[in-house]
Amino acid sequence: MRGAFLSGAFMVANLQTNTNRVKADKVVSSTCPYCGVGCTLQLHVKDDFIFKVTSPFDSPVNQGNLCVKGRFGYDFIYHPKRVTTPLARRYLLEGKPKPQGREQVFAVSTDGKPIPDSQISNDWDWVETDWETAMNLVADNLVRIYKRDGSDAMAVYCCAKATNEDNYLLQKMYRALFRTNNVDHCTRLCHAGSVVALQQAVGSSAMSNTASQVIMNDVFIVTGSNTSENHPIIALQMKEAVQKYGAKCIVVDPRRIDLVDFSEMWLPLKPGTNVPVFSAMAHVIVKENLVNWEFVKNRTEGFNEFVESLEKFTPEYAQEISGVPAEDIRK
Ligand code: SF4
């Protein structure tokens, strides 16, 4: 471990020494494209080349910190295979009908043998074009399909990398123009579990706090997340809250994740047994009258039914299912 740390430190020091000698032509503010923490980046550019990435210390989310992805992971920008202009199939650009058969890369004859290049139509080729041509092609074809097959033929899948405003416009276009509710988003897939739970528990499926508020918590319960790997800067804030401000961290996860080293307790439950463990915790909270009644009175509904549903979830019952000792659940 020590060796790995030292070699990493050497690399950073070496890079900083070199990059600090270079004066940037411009510094461009941006947002890290990698994870949902959304750290602020400052891209230092010289001769159209990003030679250094920093972050301002007054950035509310990451306060100048960046993980290895945000700090160094930008070489993809200069990859020779990166697509930098719109591409369209040749037959679309030339206004030809869709060619029969499969595209060139998969072309095989009826006996399953590859067809020599010279015999294959190049109508499937991807050809570089300008944005206006590409947008017109897309718009014309969407309208053509809608007129031919109606609303049920239309669907859109929005992108988590796009802004809220872009996603709003896209769903609006499909609902208002193409009269369809076939609108989906990759966030629904990634967060299907948490969306349903948050919606039912707190009435909104959005994140309940901002990333910059993480450090203000007194207690963290980490479950189903390897925060240090998935959202490193959030994990950094959690570690700071524990080490500087005395917050308590409890990890409920089968894996011995990095945050366990910063935790008061680690409950290594069997995979898929989270519900009995959390229900048993709620059972103890009710039985030992640790409930925040003020909160329950003002902010909840159906509390009595919830309490009834907890009856069988004693810590011993949860221990049997999850393997987590009953006395740890009681703590
Ligand atoms: S935590 Fe790392 S990957 Fe995520 S936004 Fe910040 S720098 Fe990027």
Count of CA atoms in the C-beta half-sphere (13 A) of 161:
3
* Confidence band, pLDDT 50/70/90 cuts, at residue 331: confident
In angstroms, the CA 161 to CA 181 distance is 21
Reported as type and span, the H/E element at residue 222 is: strand 219-223
Q: Is the pLDDT of residue 169 over 70?
A: yes
Give the pLDDT confidence of 211-225 residue by residue, as tens digits: 788 888 999 999 988
Output the residue whose Cα is nearest ligand 1's atom 4.
Answer: 35
Give the pLDDT confidence of 242-268 residue by residue, as tens digits: 999 999 999 999 999 999 999 999 999
- One domain for residues 258 and 278: no
Output the residue whose Cα is nearest ligand 1's atom 6.
Answer: 39
Residue 280 domain flag: yes
CA of 222 from ligand 1 middle (Å) equals 19
Give the pLDDT confidence of 291-316 residue by residue, as tens digits: 999 999 998 888 999 999 999 999 99
Query: Cβ(266)–Cβ(251) under 8 Å?
Result: yes
Query: Cβ(213)–Cβ(241) under 8 Å?
Result: no
Q: Is the pLDDT of residue 2 over 90?
A: no
Cβ(66) – ligand 1 distance below 6 Å: yes
Number of domains in the chain: 3
Out of 245, 268, 291, a domain closes at 268
Q: Is the pLDDT of residue 26 over 60?
A: yes
Give the pLDDT confidence of 106-131 residue by residue, as tens digits: 555 556 565 555 555 678 888 899 99
In angstroms, the CA 3 to CA 307 distance is 53
Smallest Cα–Cα separation from 283: which of 262, 306, 314, 252? 314
Query: Cβ(63)–Cβ(56) under 8 Å?
Result: no
* Burial (0-12, 13-18, 19+ Cβ within 10 Å), 35: middle
Q: Is the pLDDT of residue 103 over 50?
A: yes
* Confidence band, pLDDT 50/70/90 cuts, at residue 40: very high
Question: For position 262, which CATH number holds?
Answer: 3.40.228.10
Pairing of strands 40-46, 49-54: antiparallel
Smallest Cα–Cα separation from 88: which of 122, 129, 123, 121? 129
The range of the structural domain enclosing residue 296 comes to: 269-331
Q: To the nearest whole number, what is the mean pLDDT of the chain?
A: 85
Residue 70 domain flag: yes
Does the complex come out with an ipTM higher than 0.90? yes
Cβ(34) – ligand 1 distance below 6 Å: yes
CA of 212 from ligand 1 middle (Å) equals 13
Q: Of 77 and 1, which is predicted with more confidence?
A: 77
